Amino acid sequence: MSLRSIASRIVYTVYGKRLMQQAAGRHPRHVAIMLDGNRRWAREAGFTDVADGHRAGAKKIADFLSWCREADVEVVTLWLLSTDNLNRATEEVEALLKIIVDVVDELAAPETSWRLRMVGALELLPADMARSLKAAAARTEDRKGMEVNIAVGYGGRQEIADAVKSLLLQHADEGTSIRELAKILDVDHISEHLYTSGQPDPDLIIRTSGEQRLSGFLLWQSAHSEFWFTEAYWPAFRRVDFLRALRDYAWRHRRFGT
């Protein structure tokens, strides 16, 4: 290792410790992240196959979850595949789905500690892949560690539509009329049927790659979330970037809409 590399590592370590100190005192319970920029990273790195970018991004996930655990985060939501992504070229979607199945299997391995929850319209995926994802999550049900939501085939509008359908079916089974339901319906009733039911809403939402929009991510749950955007593509996202997000979050005065 060169002297320059050693010096860079020392500076990076010292800066990381400083950021941790600055972020101390208030940390988010729920961090949601949009893992964006894999394809652009691949192209700029000289790869001809964008799947190489998705593979590089997949390797980053376990590191990110470890950083969250170190920061005492209780819930993490990872957006891996949107409903819009399913409209891309068939070859790219198939390759990406295989990468997602592989990484979810790795996250469910016995040596890991987190609990996985699949969130999204899995019925839109090939049946064998949907079964594999559900089976991987089921293997982690009894764990007591950090909760990790894997958003696959996810769209915020789709989630709200699915929540309303679930709510209507429940009350239909209970014999509640539409008129009776309209009298009692409130936001809590819908929240109980979201993919993330029972979990706190995200305190902090991170998007990589320089884009500054939600693109339909957690539309309902993000009403009072803080947002943090970075130019870094997801495969190039570093621990120091995450610590900067935590520091900025700790410095903000949350108003919760007031």
pLDDT digit string, tens, across residues 212-234: 999 999 999 999 999 999 999 99
Is residue 73 within 8 Å of residue 27, measured between CB atoms? yes
What residues contact residue 183 under an 8 Å CB cut-off, 6+ apart?
none
Superfamily of domain covering 3-251: Decaprenyl diphosphate synthase-like (3.40.1180.10)
Report whether 153 contacts 120 (CB < 8 A): yes
| pLDDT tens track for 170-219 | 999 999 999 999 999 999 999 999 999 999 999 999 999 999 999 999 99
Asked whether 163 and 189 are in contact (CB, 8 A), the reply is: no
Q: How far apart are CA 106 and CA 122, in angstroms?
A: 19
Q: Is the dihedral of CA 143, 205, 197, 216 positive or negative?
A: negative
pLDDT for residue 96 is more than 90: yes
Q: Looking at residue 248, what is its pLDDT?
A: 95
Q: What mean pLDDT is reported for the chain? A: 92
Q: What is the distance between the alpha carbons of residues 104 and 111, in angstroms, rounded to a whole number?
A: 13
Each residue of 115-166: pLDDT tens digit? 999 999 999 999 999 999 999 999 999 999 999 999 999 999 999 999 999 9
Q: How confident is the model at residue 5 (pLDDT cuts 50, 70, 90)?
A: low
The burial of 188, by beta-carbon neighbours within 10 Å (0-12 exposed, 13-18 middle, 19 or more buried), is given as exposed
Among this protein's residues, is 38 annotated catalytic? no
Count of other CB atoms within 10 angstroms of residue 72: 10
Closest of 160, 164, 159, 158 to residue 185, by C-alpha: 164
Residue 119 in tokens: 């969130």
What's the whole-number mean pLDDT along residues 37-52? 96
Write the DSSP symbol of residue 122: G
Average pLDDT over every residue of 59-81: 97
What is the domain partition of the chain in residue ranges?
A: 3-251
Which of 49, 72, 85, 87 is the catalytic position? 85
Segment 84-113 mean pLDDT: 95
Q: Give the chain's largest Cα–Cα span.
A: 74
Query: What pLDDT shows up at residue 12?
Result: 55
Tokens of 205: 């939402």
**Catalytic-labelled residue, pool 36, 52, 201, 203:** 36
Please give the pLDDT value at position 20: 63
pLDDT at 253: 76
Average pLDDT value for residue range 105-111? 96
Crossing angle (nearest 10°) for helices 51-70 and 239-251:
50
| Contact by Cβ (8 Å): 157, 85 | no
Predicted local distance difference test score (pLDDT) of residue 128 = 96
Query: 36 an active-site residue?
Result: yes
Do residues 54 and 96 touch, judged by C-beta distance below 8 A? yes
pTM of the model: 0.91
Question: What is the crossing angle of helices 90-107 and 127-138, to 10°?
Answer: 20
- The 8-class DSSP code of residue 85 comes to G
